[in-house]
Amino acid sequence: MTTATLPRTSRLTFGGILKSEFIKLFTLRSTFWCILIVVVLSVGIGLIIATVNPPARAGVPAAGPLTVAAQQADAVSYATAGSQIGELVLAVLGALVITGEYGTSMIRSTLAAVPKRLPALIAKALVLAITAFVVGVVSIFGTAAIIFPLLPGTKKIHPDWTDWHVLESLMGGALYLVLVALIAFCIGAIIRNSAGGIAAALGLILVLPGLVGLIGGLTQITWIENIANFLPSAVGGNLSHYTGTKTQVVSGIISLDRLDSGLVLLAWFVVLFVVAAVLLKRRDA
């Protein structure tokens, strides 16, 4: 039997933890499935919207030619349409990154190696963010690169790659995917259960906006309608809107521009991350 002794030059470092989390993320099949689905959804839905023209309805006058700005807005919305479903898949991935460890007790191995705990949580979030960013940029800019050349023929739309706002909107769409994944990750870290974490994350992104919107619409109570405008999916949508207005309040209803929407979304993440971090420190693993 041999227990060859190691040179004790190796020690726990944040770089090492980061590398470890990269290895963990990319040695699971679910990661590759999620990434593949996001890319396929983005390109597929983009292609369908860009190439299929609904037949003209009798009695509905044909729309006139679009302004240049309206053409860019449409082009951007086609390129980001698929990622609005892809975001749900990234939310699932984000939650699984941490709940998968609780479900399998892997978290005990992780925290035994990183007993201060917080570096492990930060490394996980960072690895997820980088991955989601690359996936977001590839899928959204890739979709744009595929469908923009088709649009002049199919929709009489002439996308303008040199328009800074087009690039900004596409980048906004990619950043939204990053923050959705991170928010789901925090919820997963708080709930520590895959089914619960995914349900809560999707509830926040998918169900809550409809619910709050419905109540707001029925009651016409201003603050309830404003809550709807601050939910992650609402501010996330603003991130990739080409024709964003300046932040303004019209008869009590707040609407946010791209930058403010990004800050609100960031705030969602920061608050949830702090809660997750405090709980991780305090709870038994």
Site of interaction with other proteins (CB under 8 A): 1-6, 8-13, 16-17, 19-21, 23-24, 27-30, 100-101, 104-109, 111-116, 282, 284-285
Least separation in angstroms between CB 23 and other proteins: 4
Cβ distance to other proteins smaller for residue 4 or 58: 4
If we measure between CA atoms, which residue out of 208, 212, 234, 238 comes closest to residue 225? Answer: 212
> Distance of alpha carbon 153 from its chain centroid, rounded?
31
Per the listing, tokens 């940029």 go with 137
The token pair that represents 255 in the structure block? 């609407």
CB of 188 to other proteins, least distance (A): 14
Nearer to other proteins, 55 or 115 (CB): 115
What minimum distance in Å lies between the beta carbon of 268 and other proteins? 28
Alpha carbon of 13 to those of 98, 110, 120, 278: distances in Å?
Answer: 20, 14, 11, 22
Least Å distance, CB 34 to other proteins, is: 13
Instruction: Give the angle 44-53-166 at the CA atoms, nearest 5°.
Output: 60
CB closer to other proteins out of 1 and 250: 1
Place of tokens 């109570």: 221
- Min dist CB 283 to other proteins, Å, is 8
Smaller CB separation from other proteins, 55 or 284: 284
Contact 123, 21 (CB under 8 A): yes
Nearer CB in complex with other proteins: 104/245: 104
**Cβ distance to other proteins smaller for residue 5 or 162:** 5
CB of 191 to other proteins, least distance (A): 18
d(CA 232, CA 253): 17
Could you tell me if 147 and 81 are in contact, meaning their C-beta atoms sit under 8 angstroms apart?
A: no
Q: Give strand ranges (E) for the chain.
A: 248-250, 253-255
In DSSP notation, 138-175 reads HHHHHHHHHHTTTHHHHHS----TT-HHHHHHHHHHHH
